[in-house]
A and B are shown apart, each in its own frame.
Chain A
């Protein structure tokens, strides 16, 4: 799986992508497993968070084509924002899922969304969120994201210990 700026060859990849002046080819390489559909969301986070999450979605649902991955690895804030803007624009994604509130990808996504009111940003994402979202084809980005977030919240459970079940 290729990612938009997050492989071990990130710097080479970045320079190569700048020479092409576009993140589109990196985007186009995403989600090669299974049937191709429109990219509906960007998954962005630290290190291999996004590619890892998307690989799990692919394994479970075969619907990894709904997502495009982005990593903040080795990138400064300006470059993360520039790249996020390009990926959102070129993929047509209506939602950006990120790993941590206050992570650099989340800040970049919110800056992009400030200029694009139709873009929804969801942070603190877990696998349950991303699994649910791929099955909400019909809903608006915001509605699908909200439904997926409810599912993700319900999936956070504690077992064992003195207070466990």
Chain B
């Protein structure tokens, strides 16, 4: 099962780019579900991890590289540098995954680029202030607002933890109507 390639086909690359196939919000960032669960079926060649803190820490970067097979390139970007580099990633001949650890970071990246048309909510887990929507999605009122703002700007937002699961559209997700 492959997610839509709408994001790639709308970019202005020459040739037939594959590029970023999945824009994912996941508070575990690079982990088994991403590398194996999504990475294998998408046959990814690269992962872009967008996080201001990780982009500033060599130690954290080494930690995240540990779980990635040697044939998959990992790029660490801040929101600012990712916004500048996004067009290049979208034109990459390899399939890739772009990750943020929270909704706010993805929201900033979308606002800075206007070039992301689909966002996957892959895992936002419990912490105080967050309310459960799905087994793997907990959001604060502010985060809910940010997701609605994304959708209001034409971004297709859905929740899906692994490729074999059914994507849950934003409104169903916020209403807690998932299969979880």
Residue positions of A touching B, CB distance < 8 A: 11, 14, 46, 72, 74-80, 99-104, 106-107, 110-111, 114
What residues of B have a CB within 8 angstroms of the CB of A46 in the complex?
32
Total number of B residues with any Cβ neighbor in A under 8 Å: 24
Q: Mark B28-44, 1 if CB is under 8 A from A, else 0.
A: 11111001100000000
Cβ contact within 8 Å between B63 and A110: yes
Contact B124 A11 (CB under 8 A): no
Contact A106 B67, beta carbon cutoff 8 Å = yes
CB neighbours of B68 from chain A (8 A): 102
Which chain A residues lie closer than 8 Å to B123 at the CB level? 76
CB distance from A147 to the nearest CB of B (A): 23
Residue of A nearest to B180 (CB): A74
How many residue pairs link A and B with beta carbons under 8 A? The number is: 62
One of B30, B59, B65, B135 near A74 (C-beta < 8 A):
B135
Contact A101 B66 (CB under 8 A): yes
For A100, the closest partner residue in chain B by CB is B32
Q: For B64, what are the chain A residues with a Cβ–Cβ distance below 8 Å?
A: 102, 107
A109 CB, nearest partner CB in chain B, Å: 10
Q: How far is the CA of A75 from the CA of B127 in the complex (A)?
A: 9
Q: Which of B27, B32, B132, B135 is close to A76, meaning CB atoms less than 8 Å apart? A: B27
